[in-house]
Chain A
Amino acid sequence: MKSVIVIGAGGAGLVAALSAYENGAKVTVITKEYPTRSQTSMAQGGINAVLSEEGGDSIEIHIQNTLKSASALADEQVVSFMCKEAPNAIRWLDSIGVPFSRNDKSKIAQRKLGGAYAPRACYAQDYTGLKILHTLYDRCQEAGIEILNERYLLEFITNKDNNNKSFVCGVSVLNKRSGEVEAYEAKSVIVATGGYSRVYHDYSTNSVSTTGDGIALAHRAGVRLSDMEFIQFHPTALKNSSILISESARGAGGYLLNSKGERFINELLPRDEVARAIYDEMAKGYDIFLDIRHLGTEFIENELPQEAKLAKLYENVDPSVELIPIKPAAHYTMGGIEVDKNSSTCINGLFAVGECANHRVHGANRLGGNSLLELVVFGKQAGENAAKYICDFDKKVDLSAQKKSFEDQIIKIKEFSNEINFYEKQRELGELFYKNLGIKREKSAMQALLNEVKEMKAVLPKMGVSDKTKEYNTNLIEFLEFKNILDLSELVLISAISRQESRGAHFRVDFPSADDKKFKAHTIIEERMVSYED
């Protein structure tokens, strides 16, 4: 039996693994990719921490900024813990070798991101996530932590103890290479599988693997989810590919223009306001562009090289003389697996951390730079607690029966009739979500979408895979991901329909203001039903 299994090898998973290891546990990390390919590599902007109060910033202000952005839906105590731990988190990253950019005093450099009072985001050029992730990976190599690559999580396996309380006792995974189902017994499991923005498919800035698997499967195992309707849209993704053009383009003085060449909003307002303004212009039938021509070729080459490269590659425009076509796209999912103050889910031994978890620090809207921070602070906590938990674990586990049942399930899925191409449905779903559950929402459109989702679920057996091969069957993996996406779609929809108010990233055209009396509370999903909790 394994001691601690971490599912997911992004920033959250690797920090949790290192922390469990440092606390004496034997750790195994499982990922459907390779660790360094995780979405964490994409983060550019930075990671928040108040390292000095010289410029007038303080931990208290970091807490306030975070709470404000969260629109009264964050837990003040947890936010306060995270912001206080932030300087330690950076110190630790520095101590293991993260090559942060430096300032003139040879200390870690910081820059200002949206919603922050002061320059607070520590960064490593435009490669903050990449360099943090790779350094964590190197650290895991040093520690000799076992990493099982290219294994796709199928299920969290649970059992009941003498008090009829559920505990986790292992996972089953599909080895992508061999096509075999593998079941691993474990005393504790940490979920770190990332968010669910790919519900929006082509309308998301995220990595293609951000399909919410861990969240969907945890819910199937009986875990509560929360705040699933809160999804942050980034105002400037490239029009065709949804690849992120970072805020720095607007920060440096870039304009947003409609097809008439008119500016229509103060570009420096918070993300959700800018995104809504763009949405309104698009609803009028306009195309939207980012204009950085006036900044000059030299400035663009020196200060925005990444943006220029991406615009050229994906939109075929030269931003020093042409407009960059953009649209808002789904960027970050605030909701996820409900955890307590110890990063534990409601199933014993099952912990969750990172974008897949809801630690109630982002509330209705995440502050830029806080999610990398969350990975480190709560990754450490989850690892510690998992290591503690396994010390008292004394149960016997036998998973041979489960393994057989998963094998049968895979065989069954391969027998689905494949009359309907699920890739088409997935694309359709993403488009519908963008239109009807995107920046602006309204009851009847969401209700229609919910029916559509239910319809898709009902015809799943008519979908399936055309590739029946065992080895490296990505057709099968993508179908399994689509199933998870459909599951989560329904949960996001029922949460959004139920919340009859506007708050943070959730904007209801039919209920345009906040309703604190009814909805200053977290949306809880338990067994696919919605309720509210403080």
Chain B
Amino acid sequence: MKINIKRGEVLCYEIQAKNQTLLEVLNEIKTTQDSSLAYSSGCRSGVCGSCAMRVNGREILACSYHVQDGDLVEPLNNAPVIRDLVVDMDKAYGFNAKAKAYLSADIDNILITHEEQKINELQSDCILCGSCYSACPVYAVNSEFLGPFALTRVWRYVSDKREQNPKEKIDNIQTNGVWDCTLCNACTLVCPQGISSKADIEKLRARSALVGYMDPNFASFGFSGGFDGSPIF
């Protein structure tokens, strides 16, 4: 079978693959055909988030995707390509700090019920693979948008019973944050962990409203937009 890999230009490789993951195929190419091919990998089992890339335009983890004849493999979008399938994640990861995605102070001995724990169980499954940033149309045009995984992480802490200053976190995500998202759901569709940053952003909007923030789009245009929050112009 043949697969095409975008390395600056698209190169075609002939491989013997039977029910193999893309990562296995990349390893095969690298160790037997062309050792100059650059990509990242780690755990091989979908938890370290190293091998996110795109196949036929869609974000996947190479270790969890079975190759098909004719596949086109490309690096993630919306991040500088360092080489071949490797992108620079420094800027994207930097949004976690900008969004203050951490507990604001240590806190001892808080009891947490099953229900309270469930509130952010899924969100804390995030592996920071970056697929959601690659798929996000808003991040593509606004490079200062805090972006899906950072906002999911904010929800993860804001909703944590141990967080003593959630208001500060909400204050911090009003600009280039929750209101800039178009709720297009692209991030949800590509997340290998089944996380919906879109849904988390909606929850953060509700929290924002509770402390008095308003959708700036509504504020300037009155209530003429759709109440699902979709763009109104």
Contacts and interface: CB of A to CB of B under 8 A. Distances in A.
B218 interface: no
B111 A39 contact: no
A89 to B, nearest CB: 14
A95 interface: yes
Contacts of A177: 82, 88
Interface residues of A, number: 58
Interface in B102-160: 102-104, 106-114, 116-117, 120-121, 124-128, 153, 156-157, 160
Nearest to A465: B35
B42 A141 contact: no
B47 A423 contact: no
B225 to A, nearest CB: 34
A106 B43 contact: no
B33 to A, nearest CB: 11
Nearest to A127: B125
B45 A310 contact: yes
Nearest to B97: A141
Interface stretch (A63-71, A131-139, A349-357, A432-440): A131-139
Interface in A35-52: 36-39, 41-42
Interface string A101-142: 110111100000000000000001101011100100011011
Interface stretch (A151-159, A253-261, A281-289, A470-478): A470-478
Contact of B106 (A95, A130, A138, A241): A95
Given A106-B112, A125-B121, A314-B21, A208 B42 contact: yes
A102 B66 CA distance: 36
Interface in A181-209: 207-209
B32 interface: yes
A290 interface: no
A107 B111 contact: yes
A41 B48 contact: yes
A39 B41 CA distance: 11
A313 interface: yes
A451 interface: no
A29 to B, nearest CB: 13
Interface residues of B, number: 61
B42 A207 contact: yes
B86 interface: yes
B60 interface: no
A72 B40 CA distance: 41
Q: Select the residue from A33, A134, A244 with max chain B CB neighbours within 10 A.
A: A134
A99 interface: yes
Contact of B36 (A96, A102, A127, A467): A467
B177 interface: no
B108 A423 contact: no
Q: Select the residue from B38, B97, B107 with max chain A CB neighbours within 10 A.
A: B38
Interface of A: 33-34, 36-39, 41-42, 91-92, 94-97, 99, 101-102, 104-107, 124-125, 127, 129-131, 134, 138-139, 141-142, 144, 149, 177, 207-209, 241, 243-244, 310, 313-314, 316, 421, 423-424, 427, 465-467, 469, 471-475
Given A99-B120, A467-B35, 19 more contacts: A37-B42, A37-B49, A38-B48, A41-B42, A42-B48, A91-B109, A95-B162, A97-B103, A99-B124, A127-B124, A127-B125, A130-B47, A130-B127, A177-B88, A207-B44, A207-B48, A423-B32, A469-B36, A472-B83
Interface of B: 19, 21, 24, 30-32, 35-36, 38-45, 47-50, 64, 66, 82-84, 86, 88-90, 93, 96-97, 100-104, 106-114, 116-117, 120-121, 124-128, 153, 156-157, 160, 162-163
16 contacts: A33-B50, A34-B93, A37-B48, A42-B48, A99-B121, A102-B117, A138-B96, A141-B97, A142-B104, A144-B97, A207-B48, A241-B24, A314-B21, A427-B31, A472-B86, A475-B35
